[in-house]
Amino acid sequence: MKSYYITTPIYYVNDKPHIGHAYTTILADTLARFQRLVEQESFFLTGLDEHGLKVQQAAEKNGMSAKDHCDKMAPAFLELWDKLNIQYSDFIRTTEDRHVKIVQNVLNEVHENGDIYQDEYEGWYSVAEERFITDKELDSGLFREAKKIKERNYFFKMSKYQDALIEKIEKNENFIQPTTRKNEVLGFLKQDLSDLCISRPKSRLEWGIEIPFDKDYVTYVWFDALINYISAPKYSEDDNHFKQFWPADVHLIGKDILTTHSVYWSTMLMSLNIPLPKTIFAHGWWLTDEKKMSKSLGNVVSPLTLVDKFGVDAVRYYLMSEMVLGSDATFSMESFIKRYNSDLANDLGNLVSRVSTLINRNFDSTIPLSKDSNNDLSNEISNINIKDKLDNFQMDRLIQNIMDFVRSINGYMEKNQPWKLVKEDKKLAGNVLYNAAESLRIATVMLSPIMPEKCKEILNALGATSSSLDWGNLKSGEKIPESNPIFPRIIE
RNA sequence: GGCGGAGUAGCUCAGUUGGUUAGAGCAGCGGAAUCAUAAUCCGCGUGUCGGGAGUUCAAAUCUCUCCUCCGCUACCA
């Protein structure tokens, strides 16, 4: 049986991890956890992109080898993923032997297919930066010592696949998402595609994967990096294993690397004659509103600093609920606190408190008996279609649906008033509390991919042992602990 | 310049193939309740659906036009 295979980009080690990296990775983690919850096994790949000029230069600057530089940078990412509770299935680094070998396999294969040839590359070269620069960069005037030079290199016949790629994109509605990005790529492909220069002479750049059929060259870093998506599941090394994962269900990317994925990567796969990923999804960016931020809480610069202050799950919840996938979102302290207080503290956390306190005081800390599995709440749960929202990448809507249900539980409490009812008809009050607690259990299970730790706490507070989404899995007679606020209100 | 997207309540956004008095959350106002983290529940919106014109019995939803904002226009990673 094939696993749901989801990837993040592999992050370039030139940079320390920031909110962008964290967001994509949390999103992938959340989607992977949701898949495990509702449907199937999932395999979640992330990792690091470690070759290329900028890494080499950064290493030289610090007086260390490129490899040492990478080894020094890697822990920063691993520690952050740990802190953010990222449950990746595999973490790949492009300097690992397993990757290098497969990149060379791919190069050989593409070469043998006749899709690689040698030619002269002519472009503007910046002596100061030691690299070729784009026309745009030249126009910017930031690169003074620019001169036009020629260099012999290897090229990948990307243009050969242009028409086939256009057809694939047009035919497969879900291939490039959201639609606006799909249109961008199609617009891009209206112009003639040129071939891609995929080598760099070692005389200029040493830090890369050697071209297997010419030891004077290393591989262009993008060509190397993209292959991680198939090198991790062992393409060309273990066919059965590979087929359990490929094609990927979704490559999650930021909108800045849309072209490399939808054009470079797709044509590479076409040359290898293996299927394209089912979906490439480009999400938006987090914009920050510095003014608002500094007003509320001093000099908070990054949402990441909120993790220490308010907990990883609150931040995960905020990031997942606040961004409409595909659009940009604005981060502000103000919106974080609003979201936290109204959703987590007032609606959800407070509900846990009121239910558990009522059970503690009136039912000897024991989950009361359930009388009817058919009630307003159990019926309302069926309105939440997790799979539909996941298939359409509507994380914000999914959360909204779940939180609407949580609000309904509060409404149910208000309508049935178990604190009064308990004095008149204890059995009936018990039933009301059971229904509320069981609804809360299911809502919490639904939220657990987003807030794994906090949801465990809530389930524990409810004496719940089952993580089933079906009604009736909260056991009557189960003891519950004294209640403690799960999400203490943030008071400014 | 070319191609594409967006402009709906104070804020963030829903509004499927045109059809009852345009919706949700948050914020605001009023009330109820007091089990609960002063949390909860109920009620309250005279929004020119960016402007204008057109098609239609009927348009936020289709057509045209204008205005504003944004994205893409590759071989840096």
Counting as low any pLDDT under 50, the low residues of chain A are 290-300
The gap between A197 CA and B75 C1' (Å) is: 6
pLDDT at position A289 is 57
Q: How many CB atoms lie within 10 A of CB A443?
A: 25
pLDDT at position A295 is 36
Where exactly are the structural domains of chain A? 332-492
Strand partners, A125: A132, A147
pLDDT at position A301 is 52
Q: Looking at the domain A332-492, which fold is it?
A: Isoleucyl-tRNA Synthetase; Domain 1 (1.10.730)
CA distances from A141 to A126, A134, A382 (A): 11, 11, 60
Q: Which residue is nearest nucleotide B76, judged by alpha carbon to C1' distance?
A: A133
CA distances from A423 to A21, A401, A420, A443 (A): 54, 34, 6, 28
Is the minimum distance from the CB of A423 to strand B below 7 Å?
no
Is the minimum distance from the CB of A467 to strand B below 7 Å?
no
The gap between A327 CA and B5 C1' (Å) is: 11
Report the nucleotide nearest the CA of residue A121, measured to C1': B75
The gap between A480 CA and B7 C1' (Å) is: 52
Shortest CA distance to A433 belongs to which of A484, A365, A359?
A359
A303-312 CB burial, b ≥16 within 10 A, e <16: bbebbeebbb
A246: which 2 tokens?
A: 């490929």
Is the minimum distance from the CB of A220 to strand B below 7 Å?
yes
Locate all alpha helices (DSSP H) within A236-289, ordered by sequence. 239-243, 258-259, 266-272
Strand partners, A151: A121
Is the minimum distance from the CB of A282 to strand B below 7 Å?
no
Report the nucleotide nearest the CA of residue A50, measured to C1': B77
Shortest CA distance to A309 belongs to which of A276, A318, A150?
A318
Shortest CA distance to A100 belongs to which of A218, A5, A244?
A218
**HSE value, Cβ hemisphere, 13 Å, CA-based, for A30:** 30
**HSE value, Cβ hemisphere, 13 Å, CA-based, for A466:** 16
pLDDT at position A431 is 95
The gap between A397 CA and B15 C1' (Å) is: 14
pLDDT at position A190 is 86
Q: How many CB atoms lie within 10 A of CB A75?
A: 10
Q: Cβ(A437)–Cβ(A472) under 8 Å?
A: no
The gap between A179 CA and B55 C1' (Å) is: 29
The gap between A362 CA and B28 C1' (Å) is: 38
pLDDT at position A139 is 74
Q: Cβ(A283)–Cβ(A254) under 8 Å?
A: yes
Strand B: which of residues 239-258 in chain A lie with Cβ below 7 A? 255-257
A185-210 CB burial, b ≥16 within 10 A, e <16: beeebeeebebbbbbbebeebebbbb
3-state secondary structure A428-439: HHHHHHHHHHHH
- With a CB cutoff of 8 Å and minimum separation 6, the contacts of A418 are A358, A362, A429, A432, A433, A436
Is the minimum distance from the CB of A176 to strand B below 7 Å?
no
Report the nucleotide nearest the CA of residue A415, measured to C1': B41
Sequence length of chain A is: 492
The gap between A327 CA and B64 C1' (Å) is: 29
Is the minimum distance from the CB of A197 to strand B below 7 Å?
yes
The gap between A385 CA and B48 C1' (Å) is: 38
Is the minimum distance from the CB of A74 to strand B below 7 Å?
no
Q: How many CB atoms lie within 10 A of CB A121?
A: 15
Q: Give the span between the Cα atoms of A93 and A303, in whole angstroms.
A: 26
Is the minimum distance from the CB of A204 to strand B below 7 Å?
no
pLDDT at position A100 is 97
A4-19 CB burial, b ≥16 within 10 A, e <16: bbbbbbbbbbbeebeb
Q: Give the span between the Cα atoms of A438 and A444, in whole angstroms.
A: 10
Is the minimum distance from the CB of A492 to strand B below 7 Å?
no
Is the minimum distance from the CB of A360 to strand B below 7 Å?
no
Q: Give the span between the Cα atoms of A229 and A45, in whole angstroms.
A: 8
Locate all alpha helices (DSSP H) within A206-364, ordered by sequence. 221-226, 228-231, 239-243, 258-259, 266-272, 290-297, 304-310, 312-322, 333-339, 350-362
* Sequence letter at residue A22: A
Give strand B nucleotides closer than 7 A to any protein Cβ.
2-5, 12-14, 24-27, 33-42, 71-77
Q: Cβ(A159)–Cβ(A142) under 8 Å?
A: no
pLDDT at position A278 is 95
Helices then strands (H, E): number in chain A? 23, 15
A103: which 2 tokens?
A: 């990149």
**Interface predicted TM-score (ipTM) of this complex, two decimals:** 0.91
Q: Which residue is nearest nucleotide B24, judged by alpha carbon to C1' distance?
A: A400
Strand partners, A122: A150
The gap between A180 CA and B54 C1' (Å) is: 29
Q: Which residue is nearest nucleotide B27, judged by alpha carbon to C1' distance?
A: A338
pLDDT at position A185 is 92
